[in-house]
Amino acid sequence: MIKSTLLQAIQAGATELKKYFNGTFTIASKATLNDLVTEADHASEKAIFSVIQNNHPDHFILSEETGAMPTASSTKWIIDPIDGTINFANGIPICCVSIGVEQEGKMILGAVYNPFMNEMFIAERGKGATLNDQKIQVSNKSDLLSSCLVTGFPYQYLDTENGPLQIFEKLIRKAIPVRRLGSAALDLCWTAAGRFDGFYEHKLQAWDSAAGFLIVEEAGGKVTDLKGNPYSPYQPGIIATNGKIHTSLQDVINGGSL
């Protein structure tokens, strides 16, 4: 029942994305100039809420635009109605709807859907991960120097030791390709599908990674915080890899050399 609701909800959100994409809609800034929210974000969120609340009115909801809607339920829906809003607002089709389902503190289901590329990523704990119903698995590369990586940067630069720009520079000076797509949820899914060998980011919110990190794990990958501890979407830093380059990437992120 929960999985069926998840699929209905993510399709409902995606319908709103397709309705507004490349059209005319309102855009506003949130905390910083380029941290955007659009009319489509709100429409997608509303459509998702409607599906979930019709089927599971007692469930806890945490969503990017509305925030927490707590209940006594041990089941929580963690929602990003548009991950990659800047891309969406500029007509770039690298954006998606992302929904994770947590039960008793453990992520049990995750779905990420990019309707513009017609790619639906789904994972269920213990049952693997799929892309459009076909099983996916992480890449097999074992050398960081020959890997293809992806990352993202926070809206407010973290002026700390081994910050985002320092790590990026360290990697690209060794000619390691590091891409920036603008959607953490898709970065994680594309790592799960073996398109990237690893993903790292210094500052995410729970809705950015809740679904995607489960998809990576169920595709055979490894996900930790920046220090190598077990991952929780409620802390900011993440490293997600095929497992084979994880330690090497983690070392670089924490000040090691290549």
> What is the mean pLDDT of the segment spanning 84-103?
97
Active site residue 130: no
Tens of pLDDT, residues 234-255:
999 999 999 999 999 999 999 9
CB within 8 A of 124, min separation 6: which ones? 3, 108, 109, 218
The catalytically annotated residue of 64, 102, 187, 217 is 64
Tens of pLDDT, residues 180-236:
999 999 999 999 999 999 999 999 999 999 999 999 999 999 999 999 999 999 999
Give me the pLDDT at residue 78, please.
98
pLDDT band at 113 (very low <50, low <70, confident <90, very high): very high
> What is the mean pLDDT of the segment spanning 14-19?
97
The catalytically annotated residue of 45, 80, 201, 217 is 80
> What is the mean pLDDT of the segment spanning 165-193?
97
Average pLDDT, the chain: 95
pLDDT band at 37 (very low <50, low <70, confident <90, very high): confident
The catalytically annotated residue of 208, 238, 239, 253 is 208
Active site residue 159: no
257 vs 132 pLDDT, higher one: 132
Give me the pLDDT at residue 28, please.
78
Predicted TM-score (pTM) of this structure: 0.96
Whether 240 and 221 have beta carbons less than 8 Å apart is answered as yes
What is the residue extent of each domain of the chain?
2-135, 144-253
The catalytically annotated residue of 48, 82, 122, 215 is 82
Give me the pLDDT at residue 50, please.
98
Give me the pLDDT at residue 180, please.
97
Active site residue 65: no
Give me the pLDDT at residue 34, please.
67
Tens of pLDDT, residues 120-131:
999 999 999 999
CATH code: domain 2-135 is 3.30.540.10
The catalytically annotated residue of 41, 83, 197, 201 is 83
Q: Domain spanning 144-253: which CATH class is it, in words?
A: alpha beta
Give me the pLDDT at residue 173, please.
97
Give me the pLDDT at residue 33, please.
64
d(C-alpha 4, C-alpha 247), whole Å: 37
Q: Which residues of 13-38 are buried (b: 16+ CB within 10 A; e: fewer)?
A: bbebbeebbeeebeeeeeeeeeebbb
d(C-alpha 8, C-alpha 86), whole Å: 25
The catalytically annotated residue of 85, 130, 191, 224 is 85
pLDDT band at 101 (very low <50, low <70, confident <90, very high): very high
